[in-house]
Chains A and B, each alone.
Chain A
Amino acid sequence: MRKILAALVATTVLAGAAQAAEVFPLDRATILSGSPFDFKVEFDAVVKPEDVKITVNGQDYKAALGGQVEFIAEEKNKDKVLGSAVILRGVTIANAGDYKVEVSAGSETRNVSWNVYGTPDQAKAKNVIFLIADGLSVAHRTAARIMSKGMTEGKANGRLNMDDVPPVAFIGTSATDAVATDSANTMSAYMTGHKTAVNAIGVYADRTPASLDDPKVENIAEALRRQTKKSIGIVSTSELQDATPAAVVAHTRKRGDKADINGMLFDVKPEVLLGGGSAYFLPQSTAGSKRKDDKDFIKLFQDAGYKLATSKGELATVAGDNDGKILGLFHTGNLDTTLDREFLKKGTVGKFPEQPGLVEMTKVALDTLSKNPEGFFLMVEAANVDKMSHPLDWDRAVVDTIEFDQAIGVAREFAAKNPDTLIVVTGDHTHGVSIIGTVDDEKPGTDMREKVGTYAEAGFPNYEDTNGDGYPDRVDVSRRLFLNANNGPDHYETFRPKLDGPFAPAIQNEKKEYVANEQYKDVPGAVFVPGIIPKSADSGVHAVDDVVLQAEGPGAEGFRGYMEQSDVYKGLAEAFALGAKQTN
C-alpha cells in the first residue's frame, strides 16, 4: 500500500518505470536553511554505484549537498535483501528556495521537491515557552473550565488562563505513514519541522530494522545550540525519555528506545530537566534501573554541573542554589496525576509521596532559565492528559488539564513581566472524547444509565471550589460531567470517578486480546460497553481531529489558519531567527 501511494504522489513517474526509489527527506519536505539533515535514497533493486544519478536543481548531489557519500550495495532485513541505498549524513542547504531532487538508477527513478526556508536575521522573541498538553482535545478544555470555574445559566462563572490565549491555528497531526498519529511523530514535527512516521522521533523512517540508523533531521535543541546561546528547559509529568520530552532532543525510529534517548538528553544537556524516568538514569546494577549498561547518568549530570533534586523539597532547595543547571527526577516512571498526587493519594503516591506538580516545576524552570541574558526555550508538557485519556479516566485527564492551565498561568505571568516572550499553547494530537451532559445520582432508580442527563435533563454540574485553588473540592459530586470516548476496548462504564486509582478498563488474556476488567463489573449500575477497535487495543486511541494551537507574544503571527504540524516549527524558527547565527 505504501509503495503504491508513493508512486501515485511522486511528482513524476517515468512511463514504464517498474520501481520507484524512496527519497528522504520526503517529497514536499520543508527544511530550515543551514540545518543539518541526513539524505538517503532507498532503491528497490540492487543497483551499481556507477548507475546512480542524483541531481539537486540539476547539479550533481555531491557538490550540491556536500558530505560523504555512503553507498550500501545491499540493505537487509535479516536475510531478505531490500535493495541498494545511498546515504549522506549531516548535509546542509544554505540558501532558501525550492529544490528539485532527481534520482535514477537502472529502471528506478524518483523526483521529489523540497522547500528550504530562511528566517529574518533578527529574532522576534527572546524566550519561547511551548506549553503542550499531550492529547489535549476540545472536551478537555471545556470540562476543565466547567469543573474549575462552574457554570450558571449557560455562562461560565470564570475563565481559564488558556481562555485568554488567542486560538490562532488548527493543526493537522497525521503521520507520514498513516492518517492516525502518536506523540512521537507529532511532537517531532513540532520540534523539527519534518513530519515522520508513527513512533519515530527526529528521523525519517527508513526501511532497515535498526532504529538508530534512520535519516536524522535537526531538532530545536540542536538548532538553538548551533545558532544561539540560549538555555533549554524540559519539564514534563512523564518520564523525561517519553515521546514528547524526547522529541526536543532525540533521534530514533522507536520511541521505546528510552535508554538511548536518555543518552541523547545528556548529549544535548538542556539546562533544566524536570520530570520522571529516573529508571533510565540508573546503572543496571541498581535495582529499579531500566538500563542495560553500567552508565550512571545521575553522576554524569552531576559531574556536568547539574544540581540534583529528587523531591518537592529538594526542588525548592536547588531552585535557590544552582549554577543554572537543574536535574529534577521525581519518579522512576511517570509522575502521578494531580488527582492522585494532591487529593486521593492513590496510584503510586504511596511510593513517591514527594512529587512536585507541573506548576512548581514550571516556576523553577522559568526562574532558572531566565537568568540567561540570551534567553531560553522551555517546553512544558502535561503528560497525564493523554495518559489518563487512554484508559478513559476522564476525571484524572480533566484535573490534569486544570493543572496544565495553572502552568499556563505561570507562563503568562512571566510573559507579562518579560514581553519579549512568545507563548504557544497546544496539544500534540487529540482523543475521541466529548462531553454529552451529566450523571445525576439524584435521578430516580438504580439504573445508572437512566441517570445520564442529556439536553435539558442535563442541568448543570454541582462541583464546588470552596478553597479557591482552582480544583473542584471533590470530583465525585452528585451531578457531574459525563465525558465519553467514541472508541475503546471492551470495558465496564461505571458512570463514576475512579477514586481507588486510575481506571484500567481492559486486561489482556492469553490470546493477547483485551477483555473488560472484571474488577468493575460489580460496581452498582455498571454497564458493559463492547469495544469497537481491534481486541489487541488496550485502551482508547488517539483521534485524527485537528488540534487547536494558541499563541501570544512576539512571533505569534507566525501561526495562522490551518497548518501542518511541521509548519509550526517554522513559526518557532522565525521567532528565534534560527536561520541566522546569533553567537559571535
Chain B
Amino acid sequence: MSKPVQARFNRRQTLQTMGLGLIASLPLLATGTRAQAANSDITFDELYGKVSVLGLEFSEKVKQLNGRKIAMRGFMAPPLKAEAQFFVLTEIPMSICPFCSTDSDWPDNIVVVYLGEKQTFTQPSQTIEVRGKLEMGSWTDPETGFVSLLRIRQAEYATV
C-alpha cells in the first residue's frame, strides 16, 4: 500500500481545483505555522501504543492531541447515507462494504469524521487530508448507532 509521500497540503489550490465554494477561513498552513502543523499531524500507524487480543491502547500521541486541532491523511469510506453527518476515514481504500454486507467488519483503526460544513465526497482511491479537533473515547452516533473510539470533529478535508 503506497503511503502518500509528499504533496504537502495546499489548501487554497486544492479547494480551487475541487471547485468548492468553501471559505478558506483557517490558513493553518501559513508559512510560519508549518512546523507547528507537522507536530499535530497524526498517522494511522501512530494511533495505538499497544495492540493485543485483549484490547488496544491509544498512543501517548493520541492522548496528547485529544481535544486539539490535528491533521490526518487517509481514505474516505463511502458514506453510510448520502446525508450522514459523518464519514469513516480509513488507512487504505475500503475493498469491502461493512455497511452493505451483514458479515463485513470495519478495520480496527478507523477514525470517524464529523464535518463542520457539508462537503462533496471524493473518489475512494483519493488520499485526503482531514483537519479538525481530535476526540478520543467511545461515542455512539445518535442517528445511526455507529460506535467510534476516535473522531475528528468540526472537520474539513481536501484531496492531497
Interfacial residues, chain A to chain B (CB-CB below 8 A): 184, 199, 242-243, 254-256, 278-279, 282, 284-290, 292, 298, 310-311, 329-333, 351-352, 391, 500-501, 504-510, 512, 515, 517-519, 536, 538-539
Q: Determine the distance from Cα of A286 to Cα of B57 in the docked complex, in whole angstroms.
A: 8
Q: Determine the distance from Cα of A207 to Cα of B9 in the docked complex, in whole angstroms.
A: 51
Residue of A nearest to B94 (CB): A508
For the A-B complex with A282-B54, A284-B138 known, give 17 more contacts whose Cβ atoms are closer than 8 Å: A279-B108, A285-B138, A287-B48, A287-B149, A288-B51, A290-B105, A292-B147, A332-B56, A352-B53, A507-B94, A508-B77, A510-B121, A510-B122, A519-B1, A519-B2, A538-B95, A539-B96
Q: How far is the CB of B61 from chain A (nearest CB, A)?
A: 15
Question: Would you call B105 and A505 a contact (CB within 8 A)?
Answer: no
Interface centre among A391, A510, A518, A536, by most chain B C-beta atoms within 10 angstroms, is: A510
8 contacts between A and B (CB under 8 A): A199-B103, A243-B103, A255-B102, A287-B56, A508-B93, A508-B124, A510-B124, A517-B93
Tell me the residues in window 44-103 of chain B with beta carbons closer than 8 Å to chain A beta carbons. Answer: 48, 51-58, 77-79, 92-97, 100-103
Question: Would you call B55 and A508 a contact (CB within 8 A)?
Answer: no
Return the contact of A512 from the options B95, B97, B102, B138 (Cβ within 8 A): B97
Question: Would you call A288 and B108 a contact (CB within 8 A)?
Answer: yes
Interface of B is mostly: loop
Residue B123 lies at the interface, judged by CB distance under 8 Å to chain A: yes
Q: How far is the CB of B34 from chain A (nearest CB, A)?
A: 30
Residue count of chain B within 8 Å CB distance of chain A? 37
Interfacial residues, chain B to chain A (CB-CB below 8 A): 1-2, 48, 51-58, 77-79, 92-97, 100-105, 108, 121-125, 138, 140, 145, 147, 149
Q: Determine the distance from Cα of A507 to Cα of B79 in the docked complex, in whole angstroms.
A: 14
Residue of B nearest to A390 (CB): B96
Residue of A nearest to B47 (CB): A287
Q: Which residues of B contact A508 (CB under 8 A)?
A: 77-78, 93-95, 97, 124
Q: Which residues of A contact B105 (CB under 8 A)?
A: 290, 333
Question: Would you call A505 and B78 a contact (CB within 8 A)?
Answer: no
Q: How far is the CB of A494 from chain B (nearest CB, A)?
A: 15
Q: What 10 A-B pairs are tightest by C-beta distance, nearest first?
A: A256-B102, A504-B95, A288-B56, A507-B93, A286-B55, A310-B53, A287-B56, A510-B121, A278-B53, A351-B51
Q: Determine the distance from Cα of A501 to Cα of B55 in the docked complex, in whole angstroms.
A: 24
Q: How far is the CB of B79 from chain A (nearest CB, A)?
A: 8
Q: Which residues of B contact A254 (CB under 8 A)?
A: 102
Q: Determine the distance from Cα of A509 to Cα of B122 in the docked complex, in whole angstroms.
A: 8
Question: Would you call B96 and A538 a contact (CB within 8 A)?
Answer: yes
Q: How far is the CB of A533 from chain B (nearest CB, A)?
A: 14
Return the contact of A510 from the options B56, B96, B108, B123 (Cβ within 8 A): B123
Q: Determine the distance from Cα of A398 to Cα of B77 in the docked complex, in whole angstroms.
A: 30
Residue of B nearest to A183 (CB): B103
Question: Would you call A538 and B97 a contact (CB within 8 A)?
Answer: yes
Question: Would you call B95 and A331 a contact (CB within 8 A)?
Answer: no
Question: Would you call A288 and B138 a contact (CB within 8 A)?
Answer: no
Q: Which residues of B contact A515 (CB under 8 A)?
A: 124-125
Asked whether A509 and B124 contact (CB < 8 A) given A282-B55, A287-B149, A332-B108, the answer is: yes
Residue of B nearest to A278 (CB): B53
Q: How far is the CB of A45 from chain B (nearest CB, A)?
A: 30
Q: Which residues of A contact B55 (CB under 8 A)?
A: 282, 286-289
Q: Which residues of B contact A286 (CB under 8 A)?
A: 54-56
Question: Would you call B2 and A512 a contact (CB within 8 A)?
Answer: no
Q: Determine the distance from Cα of A506 to Cα of B77 in the docked complex, in whole angstroms.
A: 13
